[in-house]
């Protein structure tokens, strides 16, 4: 009889899955929704109202796993939100970590010559996080300066801090592969192996690939769907990392999903549970 494989990765929901509607405007409503759906925790979008949001999470028995924070290479004096250290003090010793999206209007996406600007900033953040026992991850984002998995690996290698890594984001991986004329099915194993030492978190969702439209305003309609929908094999994506021993948090991307939140979130949680059972059964 095959040995059962236990999955310890916690499952959390992005902030865009629990906010942005009249029904879920308050932190309390957002936290209640995440808890009722069965998530282990949530993402925080930037640092505004952090203290009240964090307290509400704790009272609803939820964990904070990631915080979406910008690093802007064009801002020489304050390239990141200086409230970050106060947040680190609040979350010290927990699993929570900022995942940093790195932007620039002056420099093109993936322009490695700007590593000389980015790396010292990122080292500063990593060293600050280390004081509080925390990790930091890069968040590759299509059309931003730090755009691809390859970018994140290159920069993480140069930052060279044990508490500094990256997230491997399914929709952005698919998008950058698509716009680069690459084959994501062929290349996933290659990039997952290269990223393996640095992957602190994953983000997943359902997806149709290739997208129905290459238009920047429409591409996410194909590449971000409720988990379990679409023709892309998200389970195979997860299995790739679980087979490598990944045990970190997995986030549910919900950007631009039009269904009522409780409906698509429930669908995604059920799919997540099915994925875990499937993996445990060795399938």
Task: For residue range 181-219, list pLDDT tens digits in order.
Answer: 999 999 999 999 999 999 999 999 999 999 999 999 999
3: confidence class by pLDDT, cuts 50, 70, 90: low
Supply the DSSP symbol for 4.
Answer: P
Q: Cα separation of 203 and 169, whole Å?
A: 5
- Structure-block tokens of residue 228: 């379990």
pTM of whole model > 0.95?
yes
Out of 13-22, 153-162, 164-173, pick the least confident.
13-22
Q: Is 90 exceeded by the pLDDT of residue 20?
A: no
- Structure-block tokens of residue 207: 């997806």
Q: How close are the terminal C-alpha atoms of the chain, in Å?
A: 13
H/E run at residue 87: helix 84-91
Per the prediction, the chain carries an average pLDDT of 96
Instruction: Count CA atoms closer than 13 A to 126's CA, side-chain side.
Output: 20
Q: Is 80 exceeded by the pLDDT of residue 64?
A: yes
Q: Cα separation of 55 and 26, whole Å?
A: 13
3-state SS assignment for residue 138: strand
């Amino acid at each position: 009889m095959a040995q059962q494989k236990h999955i310890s990765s916690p499952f959390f929901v992005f902030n865009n899955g629990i906010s942005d509607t009249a029904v879920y405007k308050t932190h309390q409503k957002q936290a209640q929704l995440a808890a009722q759906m069965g998530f282990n925790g949530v993402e925080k979008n930037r640092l505004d109202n952090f203290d009240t949001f964090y307290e509400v999470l704790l009272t609803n028995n939820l964990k904070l796993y990631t915080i979406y924070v910008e690093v802007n290479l064009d801002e020489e004096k304050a390239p990141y939100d200086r409230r970050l250290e106060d947040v680190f003090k609040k979350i010290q010793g927990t699993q929570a970590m900022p995942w940093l999206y790195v932007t620039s209007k002056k420099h093109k996406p993936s322009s490695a010559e700007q590593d000389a600007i980015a790396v010292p900033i990122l080292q500063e953040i990593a060293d600050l996080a280390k004081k509080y026992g925390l990790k930091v991850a890069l968040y590759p984002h299509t059309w931003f300066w730090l755009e691809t998995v390859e970018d994140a690996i290159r920069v993480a290698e140069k930052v060279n801090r044990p508490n500094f890594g990256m997230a491997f984001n399914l929709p952005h991986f698919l998008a950058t592969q698509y716009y680069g004329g690459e084959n994501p099915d062929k290349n996933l194993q290659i990039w997952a192996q290269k990223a393996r030492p640095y992957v602190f978190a994953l983000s997943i969702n359902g997806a149709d690939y290739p997208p129905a439209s290459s238009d920047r305003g429409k591409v996410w309609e194909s590449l971000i769907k409720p988990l379990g929908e679409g023709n892309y094999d998200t389970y195979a994506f997860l299995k790739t990392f679980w087979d490598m021993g990944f045990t970190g948090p997995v986030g549910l991307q919900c950007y631009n999903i039009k269904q009522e939140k409780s409906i698509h979130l429930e669908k995604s949680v059920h799919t997540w549970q099915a994925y875990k059972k499937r993996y445990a059964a060795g399938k």
